[in-house]
Structure 1
Amino acid sequence: MGVDLPIRKIIHVDMDAFYASVAQMDNPELRGKPIAVGGGGKRGVISAASYEARKFGVKSAMSGRLAEKLCPDLIFVRTDFERYKEISNRIRKIFFDYTDLVEPLSLDEAYLDVTENKIGLPSATLIAQKIRQRIFDEVGLTASAGISINKFIAKVASDYNKPNGQKTVNPEDVLHFLEDLDIRKFHGVGKVTAEKMYQKGIFTGRDLKSKSLEYLDEHFGKSGRYYYYIVRGIHNSEVKPNRIRKSLAAERTFSENLSSEIFMLKKLEHIAEEVTKRLNKSKVAGKTVTLKIKYSDFTLQTRSKTLPYYISEKAVIIDAAKDLLYQDKLKNSVRLLGISLSNLNTDKSLVSKTIEDRKKSVSVQLKFDF
């Protein structure tokens, strides 16, 4: 099957250990030392780890206690989201000097479409180098970048030469790059899916590519079609400067496990209040309420209900969360609760492109300076 790919020049910029690097930049005494952002105290969970800490196996979402066992010299620092936002905004201003097509994914990463750029430079590789150099000179932090013909490949490539590196996957190299890629490196293939693929003899992109669309649909459901196309380099998602918010959420980890629903309801009131503030700030409402429960054994459960109308009031959100809490018996004591509101009134249905649409794209055989 011949593969047609859209002619785009996409850069994925990913800051290196962003939260930890900001802390080390602001406090020179922390430079070169293993640090963890967050995770302090008896119940803390780590938000980010410096590369020095990662060498010991410390990583985000790990409990502070476990991290300390792995790295006895670990230094815990507080999160400072106002500072992260400030730095992130300075970095984004640099992006906009090159293109208006910037799609932030979070405070520390973004996609840039530089097919047509403000400095008239034909090479996306050189633009990525310039951006990374300016971030280092003007902000004081290092960034890594991936450059290719679509967002999926660019994101995978940005992780290739971390930290402080970049990788370009040229159009003519796309298929070979994907075929040789470990399946765990595919963005969208999580730990559970990777294990399932291993059981079916799928270890690399080449193995994945050997499976038919029917096979992937049967064994991986809705995601099967996504896997079928991405391993062939087909991913037509455009860089969207104004990403539509899909949900709003808030959650809390408790200092002591909760076993009584009465105490949980009090906690849920505070969480619902935070969700309501965020809804009002964003001027949105939603129909689907989801209750997130993390038990003391770290197993995770979600319960959802969709209302026939949009809501944004705290009282209504609490009522829905209460119903979900009592929907089933709790399996264990609870260490975390969260409430999210999705199916927002900002959502707009996206018309998926058929393979016939994709075939209208320009073939990779055309010369394309990267």
Structure 2
Amino acid sequence: MIADRKNDHVRLAAEQHRPGDANEFDDVTFLHHALAGIDRADVSLATRFAGIEWDVPLYVNAMTGGSARTGDINRDLAIVARETGVPIASGSMSAFLKDPSTASTFRVLRDENPNGFVMANVNANATVAQARQAVDLLEADALQIHLNTVQEIVMPEGDRSFRAWGPRIEEIAADAGVPVFVKEVGFGLSRETVLHLRKAGVAVADVGGRGGTNFARIENGRREGGDYAFVDGWGQSAPACLLDAADVGLPLFASGGVRHPLDVVRGLALGASAVGVAGTFLRTVLDGGPDALIAQVGTWLDQITSLMTVLGARTPADLAHCELRIRGELREFCTDRGIDVHRFARPFPTVP
């Protein structure tokens, strides 16, 4: 049954992603300064956060594993990570913790990518021992803990008890042996949640916002009658989450609804240390295999560099100094949450 569910997730997730779909990343625009550009040779994509340095501010976010079919997908994704140098996260390893015979469908992420930055992935019900087991299987450099209450409540066989998640995250963060990143699966992290994670000792919060793969819709598609359609728009977008938690003091990752390199640059400008992509890359690898995704990732990194050149940003962190306009529903969110959008009207530095 677990294998069938994992295969269903891949199929339904791929069906959701259509080029050109709008989301709240479109509510973030850069004010163009025609003399802001720098030399492309001066641009570095390296990003630093929580004592970690990555060569690029882009990563392949958690997707899958747990069946023969998803093991093949993980092999392709690992090859892409190896050939492009992007970090990669495993999908939820709950299947492995319940059935060790599925180990190879996750372990392939390390076997095909021996020198890359690999993140293991467990849910917040995992014990410290299980978290360490997942890390050990992948020889992981970090551990993602995913939060997915909305998905679980819609999932016919999902969890129904969430009270212990906060204390469990704190236990794992203290004893996992690697940095712990906590991510949402598509419904966003509020400022209050990020504050809680910082106090729990988490290294990074991946906001995992609304606008990309919708796991409530996926699980509702697996329900007879589809009677949870009313939660289809639940949660906050990644840009909303980044704005909401900008001053918390915990490194943030942006994921959820990232469609192209401009969304990556927008996420970095809103304060993310790195930007994760899942659904867009999944569609590419399913359609064209690893070679197609290697080409796409290479193009994205090239285009991110080009956008940074135009914006005058030598590093991803420099993008946080670019002048932005916030509009539409995202601006309404900021008004409701007391966020001053005018602070993004940063003056372009003039030549003395």
The bucket for the TM-score relative to the shorter chain is under 0.3
Task: Return the TM-score normalized by structure 1.
Answer: 0.25
| Higher relative helix content | 2
Structure with the bigger RCO (C-alpha within 8 Å, sep 6+) is 2
Q: Which has the larger radius of gyration?
A: 1
Task: Return the TM-score normalized by structure 2.
Answer: 0.26
